[in-house]
Amino acid sequence: MNTLHVKTGDTVIVLSGDDRGKKGKVLEVSVKEKKVIVQGVNIVKKHVKPKKANEQGGIVEVESPMYACKVALACPQTGKPIRKASRFVDGKKMRYSSKSGKTF
């Protein structure tokens, strides 16, 4: 099975595009499409119709998916972008920052 370097709930930094340098929390991961949705990043305006008679339609701003290769994990200690590294701790495979050495 294919996997990505980020999981839901990770804090990431955007590496390229209009939102370069922004930090956000991963809300959703699509392994099949290799895309992620990051909170507060890649905002698009979407036209929404009212679904019920008493509901209001309009233009809403939502986060749009972006390719996972455009984001990097943020180090929990320094806050800088890092590459994922793995290490076995007590028989379990854990992710850790190769720069700070802290597991997460």
For residue 21, the enclosing domain spans 11-75
82 lies in some domain: no
3-state secondary structure of 34: coil
- Tens-digit pLDDT profile for residues 47-94: 999 988 888 899 999 999 999 999 999 998 888 999 888 888 888 988
Is residue 53 a part of any domain in this protein?
yes
Residue 1 has pLDDT above 60, yes or no: no
User: At a CB cut-off of 8 Å and minimum separation 6, what does 54 contact?
Assistant: none
- Domain assignment present for residue 95? The answer is no
**Per-residue model confidence (pLDDT) at position 20:** 96
Per residue in 13-58, pLDDT (tens digit) is 999 999 999 999 999 999 999 999 999 999 999 999 998 888 889 9
Res 28: pLDDT? 97
Q: What is the pTM of this model?
A: 0.84
Rounded to a whole number, what is the distance in angstroms from the first to the last CA of the chain?
23
| Position 84 in a domain | no
In a domain, 58, yes or no: yes
> Considering the domain boundaries, does residue 91 fall inside one?
no
Q: What amino acid is encoded at 89 in this protein? A: V
22 found inside a domain: yes
- CATH number (domain holding residue 61): 2.30.30.30
The tally of domains found in the chain comes to 1
101 within a domain of the structure (yes/no) = no
